[in-house]
Amino acid sequence: MRLERELFGVRFRAPVLLAAGTCGFGREVADVVDLERLGGLVTKSVTLEPRAGNRPPRVAELPGAMLNSIGLANPGAEAVRRDRLSWIREHLAGVPVWVSVAGHRPDEYVDIVRMLDAERGFVGYELNLSCPNDTRLEGRSFALDPDAVDEVVGRVRRSTDRPLLVKLAPHDPDLPDTARRAEGAGADGITVVNTLPGLALRAPGSRPLLGAGPGGISGPALRAVGVHAVWRVAAAVEVPVVGVGGILSAEDAWQYLSAGASLVQVGTGSFADPRCAERIVGGLERLGRERGVESVERVPRTDPAARPAPLEAGGVR
Ligand code: RRO
């Protein structure tokens, strides 16, 4: 199966990218991951000022899931402009890099984009409107306020000609509507989903596992949520949808592609196996061959009215 595709004026060698927050700024993983084989990467979310992040522990393993509250730890936009992007320019010339942008005010998104936009080395931005762990937003990320989505996306759109992905939240009560709003305000693609807010407590004393208390759930437990979100958003917008949430195997990635994703991102899967995304690229080639699909653009879309698949012993893994 031919994995290459072109979207947003960008050529992707494969439809598999590393998700924001799971590969730093590329340098952190470059010794272990062959980034040239992938469709690219999304950086850790960048805020205007450096952020130290939340109190540790910042991650915990749960059955079938990971819980994190990193708290946007990042060096800030100026250090990213000065150091991280110059490293990316020198070392990742052929790799489409997306800068994830986050903030607690709409102005912050615009200021970051204005600061970085003249630099070379990255193809576009992923606007993170859905971080569950920004204590300054008190659990109300911009993605949950449709007017804020209009404002942030619209203002950033007027500040750059680069492609804009907009990352939305899984617990949005009207995800298709929010995606349409983002599209209307100028998004070139919609990324779904960010992590799902959660809390894990430990006996005795029922104290939180994480230093910050609540966090965001990712990993296999999020996969069906992500596939569902892609399926709903793909039916609602014209722009490409990027699927992320619990992808650990080529079979998982295939589910997302058949639900309507044009690209997928691997996040938590890379923590368990740093080469997870590369493995998925190889696995997709194989699956396509076995299933007689010649190009990733032709992965058949699921028919939601189709009769259920026969359950193997144990069901879907
Ligand atoms: O840094 C984080 O705690 C974090 C972010 Br910005 C995000 O978008 N999603 C997430 O699960 N964690």
pLDDT tens readout for residues 147-198: 999 999 999 999 999 999 999 999 999 999 999 999 999 999 999 999 999 9
Amino acid at 183: E
Burial of residue 117 (CB within 10 Å: 0-12, 13-18, 19+) is middle
Closest CA to 130 of 74, 188, 195: 195
Cβ neighbours of residue 25 closer than 8 Å, sequence gap 6 or more: 43, 44, 80, 84, 87, 88
Task: Give percent above pLDDT 70 in the chain.
Answer: 98
Give me the DSSP letters along 17-40.
EEPTTSSTTSTTTTTTS-GGGSSE
* 68 CA distance to ligand 1 middle (Å): 7
* 150 CA distance to ligand 1 middle (Å): 21
Higher-confidence position of 23 and 307: 23
Nearest atom, ligand 1, residue 72 CA: 1
| 23 catalytically annotated | no
- pLDDT score at 304: 77
* 175 CA distance to ligand 1 middle (Å): 19
For ligand 1, atom 5, which residue shows the shortest CA distance?
A: 131
Pick the catalytic residue from 131, 149, 190, 266.
131
Nearest atom, ligand 1, residue 74 CA: 1
| Per-residue model confidence as pLDDT tens digits over 52-99 | 999 999 999 999 999 999 999 999 999 999 999 999 999 999 999 999
* Residue 135 banded pLDDT, cuts 50, 70, 90: confident
Mutate to test the pocket of ligand 1, among 131, 166, 195, 268 (most ligand atoms within 8 A of CB): 131
Reply yes or no on whether the pLDDT at 136 is more than 90: no
- pLDDT score at 139: 72
For ligand 1, atom 8, which residue shows the shortest CA distance?
A: 131
Q: Is the CB of 68 inside a 6 Å radius of any atom of ligand 1?
A: yes
- pLDDT score at 250: 98
Q: Is the CB of 191 inside a 6 Å radius of any atom of ligand 1?
A: no
Per-state percent for the chain, helix, strand, coil, to nearest 5: 35, 20, 45
Rg of the chain, C-alpha, whole Å = 18
For ligand 1, atom 7, which residue shows the shortest CA distance?
A: 131
Reply yes or no on whether the pLDDT at 314 is more than 70: no
Q: Are 106 and 148 in contact (CB under 8 A)?
A: yes
Nearest atom, ligand 1, residue 73 CA: 1
Reply yes or no on whether the pLDDT at 312 is more than 80: no
Strand 10-12, strand 5-7: pairing:
antiparallel
- pTM over cut 0.75: yes
Q: What is the mean pLDDT of the chain?
A: 96
Q: How many CB atoms lie within 10 A of CB 302?
A: 14
Q: Is the CB of 74 inside a 6 Å radius of any atom of ligand 1?
A: no
- pLDDT score at 313: 58
- pLDDT score at 134: 85
